[in-house]
Amino acid sequence: MDKQDFVFVSKIIINECSQALEAVNCNTVEKYLTMLTEARKVFFVGVGRVLLSLEAIAKRYAHLGIETVIVGQITEPAIGREDVLIVGSGSGETMFPAGIARKAKAIGAKVIHIGSNPNSSLREVADLFVRIPVESRAKELDEIHSEQPMTSLFEQSLLLFGDATAMMLIRDRGIELEKLWEFHANLE
């Protein structure tokens, strides 16, 4: 293995991520941002590497002054009707996030599902579905193929989706990037 191998596979990953993000519906992104900014609190739920991407998104949104909560944290408050739950699940069938989504919906919170499978059982509870149409276990015909292992492309695209939407909020609100440091952790 050498530098050429690294550069080669890096380009594959970057190209796949570009394809995935370009395939996200822009009107859906606008609806997502509206729901996000109108919410009192924004809760996030996912598992595994998807959860890691969601935690990064929650942190970035917190830098923008949005009150974010990761489901399961010891300091997690109650969710209510003015809140939004963002569910990250490519398949839309992952047991824990799907169960939490149903509970949040029963309480009256809005539910946003970010995933790749448009035919998942989360359709029944999601107020909005943001589709990142990448290869998944659902094997939909229009999925973007990935040379990466398992669901890496979904997790990467999810993280980049969060950064892209954060950047849109920064521009929309006219936030000076230097001012964001006041929201950054300072006990490090």
Which is nearest to 21 in space by CA: 110, 153, 146? Answer: 153
- Catalytically annotated residue among 30, 155, 176, 182: 155
**Side chain identity, residue 96:** F
Q: What angle do CA 115, 95, 162 make, to 5 degrees?
A: 30
Residues 6+ apart with CB under 8 A from 161: 21, 24, 57, 114, 130, 132
Q: What does the H/E/C string look like for 51-88?
A: HHHHHHHHHHHHHCCCCEEECCCCCCCCCCCCCEEEEE
**Helix residue ranges per DSSP H, 23-151:** 26-38, 48-63, 95-107
Separation between Cα atoms, residue 30 and residue 179, nearest integer Å: 25
Residue whose entry in the numeric block shows the structure tokens 């920064």: 170
155 in active site:
yes
Catalytic annotation, residues: 155
